[in-house]
Amino acid sequence: MRTNHDARRTDLLDRATLVLNRSWRPVHVTTVRRALVMVFREAARIVCPESLSTFTFGEWVRQPVVNEINAIRSPSVRVQAPEVVLLSHYDRVPCHEAPFTRRNLFLRDDFTCQYCGWRCTNNHLSVDHVLPRSRGGMTNWENCVIACVGCNARKADRTLKESGLRLLRAPARPRWTPYLTLRPSQRMDSWNHFAPDAKRRKA
Ligand SMILES: [Zn+2]
């Protein structure tokens, strides 16, 4: 039987952990589970976001657990879930292009209608072609935005000018960041020390 405690521990192990390269630049986001494996194999060290001290697995286990909510317990160890890890060898910055997908488009526009600014769940939102497909509009980062059902219907098969609607901002290919695939609410506040754009956006 899965207890509440097991469920909470699973959630904690699946929580996001920021991965820094050897030069302390954010390169990736992984799960607590995978971060602990990397640290256990000495491919990374755990970073304390406040003191910026780094720890091996053995050293981390000996650290006092400051926040019980963040504690992973097993019969033999009780350890704080890491929020940031530092790779021991990797020094490069990955050069990724953000793939154009429906999900990434929702993330770029932060689940917000780009015409009226309504931020809501995705069942009220859809993808709108700024220049309609019937007029030769392309399906790409520069011509697609998230729009609410109401604005989408209002715009219909018209151009921006014809509809009188205005965009909150010009749609563009997003710069790749390690956080691209995370919803703002999944990001940890402690990451702000390492990358200002990791900041959670206000709901
Ligand atoms: Zn709208």
Helix (H) or strand (E) holding 31: strand 26-31
102-163, CATH topology level: DNA Binding (I), subunit A (1.10.30)
| Cα of 154 from ligand 1 centre, angstroms | 9
**In terms of Cα–Cα distance, which of 18, 165, 169, 10 is closest to 82?**
18
Give the side-chain half-sphere CA count within 13 A for 53.
6
Residue 191: CB atoms within 10 A of its CB come to 24
**Cα distance between residue 105 and residue 116, in whole Å:** 17
Nearest Cα neighbor of 183 from 203, 169, 166, 164 is 203
Say whether 5 sits in a helix, a strand or coil: helix
What are the boundaries of each domain within the chain? Answer: 4-95, 102-163
φ/ψ (deg, to 5) at 128: -115, 135
Average pLDDT of the residues in 158-186: 82
Residue 202: predicted pLDDT: 40
Residue 126 Cα to ligand 1 midpoint, Å, equals 10
Q: Is the pTM value of this prediction over 0.75?
A: no
Q: What are phi and psi of 147, to 5 degrees?
A: -135, 150
pLDDT at 179: 64
CA–CA distance, 24 with 4 (Å, rounded to integer): 36
Ligand 1 centre from 115 Cα, in Å? Answer: 5
The stretch 105-133 carries a mean pLDDT of 93
pLDDT tens digits, one per residue of 6-25: 566 668 999 999 999 998 98
Is residue 127 predicted with pLDDT exceeding 70?
A: yes
180 CA distance to ligand 1 middle (Å) = 23
Measured in Å, residue 176 CA sits from the centre of ligand 1 at 26
